[in-house]
Chain A
């Protein structure tokens, strides 16, 4: 899943910034974001904790 996500993000960035340096930046940034998504899903675990909807933004 994260590989797919990483490739999808990298593809979007590279399409908007098609220079070679843009592609390098795309790969690095996509990898970072994919790790962030993995972190989120680890935090949630297999069963989502109960949480309000709509989400409370301001305490």
Chain B
């Protein structure tokens, strides 16, 4: 879609100003997708493009909108609060500058990027354009929704446990959590330093590939190949396929069948993942986010509603020794995963979430133990790749109901291979 739009701009079939105006006119504040729209600045940038200004990027002249967690020149991120309310000093994000295009605005997210559904106590709950009433997934909720609504050609989000992949899966778009460190993390407000990754969400695998390359400062890629003949696709023997929603299980099987029909080899493979890895992710995250927020939380408790504060303070009670051990186990488990799984397959295929996107109304009472278990279960599939630092891509599967995603996980630096397998499903 990006290539087609860039070509349409190039041969005069449309103008950047038209693309920007069409999208600004369709923004509905009731959907709570945007935290701020830069209407005047976006129109001015579009006019400059139409007058001949170019940077050489394939994204020149195309409207984008990014998670409001990145610094921009002259603007601090809102981080899920009203813009300007948080007194922070985040430098402009190189990834945003690298991507270029026209930044139509910044989009909503879970407060401070900690959340899994799409609710936000300050800015309102983000509507899911593909499944009204259902959660968007989070924390990059606005990023998934803005792409699904066709309001932007792509969005940079962040993922510290599933925050790109869940919104991609639940909103029916493509989202990549890249290999750890592939996109420079400077210029984003942290959730948990050693888990945070910047990554793209877009309407197609090829669009996602273009955004990823641009954000990482790499050369613009050619169209993503769809040839999966002979590739070894791992079907996990444990953990990932336990207790799936019937609709998810059915869509997952259909997706595997399509890959097999395209020439891929399906291989049942052992995995080291088990629920204990999720405990390690939580320990690291709670420790680091407490370090990020404890000073501000003590000075400005009004910025931390209870639903947020209970997580942010909890890490202060953890022992440094336990945090260090949770981090030290990482390379050991990475090595075990590479030997157990990726020595035998090229890519591991799992659902992006074990359930179809729940309804917001069914998760309203997060203080209820059963409800809380349902919320945390959303991250069952996505947290292990975060701990390993492995790349993971969510692509939409065919379904008649709310969107369902397939997660493709690879060894480090297999981001391009994930795109190739994902494209075969489109």
Contact = CB atoms under 8 A, between A and B. Distances in A.
**Co-complex (A, B):** yes
Nearest to B317: A9
Interface in B371-400: 372, 388-390
Given A26-B310, A29-B310, A59-B334, A16 B301 contact: yes
Interface string A33-59: 101110111111000110111011111
Contacts of B390: 59
Given A53-B328, A59-B180, A59-B412, A37 B310 contact: no
A21 B367 contact: yes
B311 interface: yes
B280 A40 contact: yes
B331 A29 contact: no
B309 A17 contact: yes
Contacts of A58: 179-181, 389
Interface stretch (B93-101, B151-159, B165-173, B319-327): B319-327
B313 A17 contact: yes
A11 B316 CA distance: 10
Given A13-B310, A58-B180, A59-B179, A39 B330 contact: no
A3 interface: no
Interface residues of B, number: 43
Contacts of B318: 5, 9, 33, 37
A53 B311 CA distance: 28
Contact of A59 (B279, B280, B388): B388
A24 B369 CA distance: 11
B215 to A, nearest CB: 17
A5 B331 CA distance: 27
A25 B180 contact: no
Contacts of A57: 180, 194, 327, 330, 389
B365 to A, nearest CB: 12
Contacts of A49: 329, 332
Contacts of A44: 325, 329
Interface of A: 5, 8-13, 16-17, 19, 21-22, 24-26, 28-30, 32-33, 35-37, 39-44, 48-49, 51-53, 55-59
Given A36-B282, A40-B322, A59-B389, 18 more contacts: A11-B317, A16-B313, A25-B306, A30-B317, A33-B314, A37-B283, A40-B280, A44-B325, A49-B332, A51-B332, A55-B324, A55-B331, A56-B334, A57-B327, A57-B330, A58-B179, A58-B180, A59-B412
